[in-house]
Chain A
Amino acid sequence: DQQVKQNSPSLSVQEGRISILNCDYTNSMFDYFLWYKKYPAEGPTFLISISSIKDKNEDGRFTVFLNKSAKHLSLHIVPSQPGDSAVYFCAAGGSNYKLTFGKGTLLTVNP
């Protein structure tokens, strides 16, 4: 049973536009959430995180939104750039320090 779900395997956007990547979770014990980015032949790279006491966290072009009641989080990238093309993983953690990952969404930003 997948506790962290990324229902869109892929997303394609135009350069300069907004990219919105979505993630849903089922375990209400998760209390912090992270987004990772992965290029081919490299390990995942940490992007941004948010704790359950917040509903928004912003870092440059990246913003993560958390809706606890809906058990949903999203990553917004504005403006999108071709170098953002990668697989994006959502991850969730709780008090046991373990991270549970989604399957990932492949983002393609077209010039």
Chain B
Amino acid sequence: ETGVTQTPRHLVMGMTNKKSLKCEQHLGHNAMYWYKQSAKKPLELMFVYNFKEQTENNSVPSRFSPECPNSSHLFLHLHTLQPEDSALYLCASSHPGLGNEQFFGPGTRLTVL
């Protein structure tokens, strides 16, 4: 499989559930990102990992917990979410460095009931 893959593609969860989103990249990149896209809003950067180390946390609430076990995999662990957290969650990867384009996965459409 090539590119950036994300699972699941759709997720419905209650506010008390715990779930995880998974991202995998097959491009040999060393930087990985989580973005959130809400309706009628720009993509919002959530987290950045470079060489498995978190280098950016864009003031994301602690109910979102990222994990990057290696340069190819990125997880977003979710717990006690709110309905306003319903959004499209996109994973991306790139070579670290100025001007390098990010390659996106198809996203996970999350609905919190």
CB-based contact A49/B101 at 8 Å: yes
Q: How far is the CA of A41 from the CA of B109 in the complex (A)?
A: 9
Q: List the one stretch of A11-19, A69-77, A96-104 in contact with chain B.
A: A96-104
Interface size on A (CB < 8 Å)? 26
CB-based contact B43/A46 at 8 Å: no
User: Is the CB of A43 closer than 8 A to any CB of chain B?
Assistant: yes
User: Is the CB of B81 closer than 8 A to any CB of chain A?
Assistant: no
Q: How many Å from the CB of A20 to the closest CB on chain B?
A: 20
Which residue on chain B has the smallest CB distance to residue A3?
A: B42
Counting chain B residues whose Cβ lies within 8 A of the other chain, the interface size class is 20 to 34
Q: How many Å from the CB of B30 to the closest CB on chain A?
A: 11
**Residue in B41, B97, B107 whose CB lies within 8 Å of A97:** B97
CB-based contact B99/A49 at 8 Å: yes
CB-based contact B48/A98 at 8 Å: yes
**Residue in A45, A95, A100 whose CB lies within 8 Å of B98:** A95
Residues 48-95 of B at the A interface (beta carbon under 8 Å): 48, 50, 56, 90, 92, 94
Q: What 3 A-B pairs come out closest when comparing CB atoms?
A: A43-B104, A101-B43, A46-B101
Listed A/B pairs (28) with beta-carbon separation below 8 Å: A4-B42, A31-B98, A32-B98, A34-B101, A36-B104, A42-B107, A43-B4, A43-B105, A45-B104, A46-B102, A46-B103, A49-B99, A51-B99, A89-B43, A93-B98, A93-B99, A95-B98, A96-B56, A97-B48, A97-B50, A97-B94, A97-B98, A98-B45, A99-B45, A100-B42, A101-B42, A103-B41, A103-B42
